[in-house]
Amino acid sequence: MERTRFIEHRGKKILLLDYSGIKNPADALREIELSKAEVVKHAPKSLRVLTDTTDAHYDSTVVQALKELAAHDEPYVIASAVVGVSGLKKVVLTGVNLFSRRKITMFNTRPEALEWLVQQSTHPTA
């Protein structure tokens, strides 16, 4: 199964970036590039994104790639949620948010994140 794929929740399409369980930095970098390639296929402000980093391990190169991914995706995203963030990953998420100037919201579980994502408006307020 592809790690970057659409899932549906309550009739809304959610782009899942499933990086869960990735331990090898080269694998993570490859998946991040595949995610970038998928995102650019869509209209601006059209995507709800769920990123799962549960049990993933990454080094500074992967952290930098995640920052660049978040910045790259910004024009295409209505709302973005992440699960699997604990310990030092919280510091990484703070860095990603600062670097990309985005607010990627953290949740404990996929169901919580999905419920939040489907409630986000397709028309961001100014």
Q: How far apart are the first and last CA of the chain?
A: 38
Pairing status of strand 12-18 against strand 4-9: antiparallel
pLDDT over threshold 80, residue 98: no
Please report the pLDDT score of residue 83 as a whole number: 92
Please report the pLDDT score of residue 126 as a whole number: 37
pLDDT digits (tens, 9 = 90+) for 24-75: 999 999 999 999 999 999 999 999 999 999 999 888 899 889 889 988 999 9
pLDDT band at 105 (very low <50, low <70, confident <90, very high): confident
Distance separating alpha carbons of residues 34 and 28, to the nearest angstrom: 10
Highest mean pLDDT out of 12-21, 52-61, 99-108, 116-125: 12-21
Distances in Å between the Cα of 116 and the Cα atoms of 20, 69, 108, 119, 120 are 20, 21, 12, 5, 7
pLDDT band at 93 (very low <50, low <70, confident <90, very high): low
* Average pLDDT, integer, range 77-98: 74
Q: How many helices (H) and strands (E) does the chain have?
A: 4, 5
Q: Which domains does the chain show, CATH number per domain?
A: 4-118 (3.30.750.24)
Q: What is the DSSP string of 63-117?
A: HHHHHHHHHHHGGGEEEEEEES--THHHHHHHHHHHHHT--PEEESSHHHHHHHH
User: What does the mean pLDDT of the chain come to?
Assistant: 87
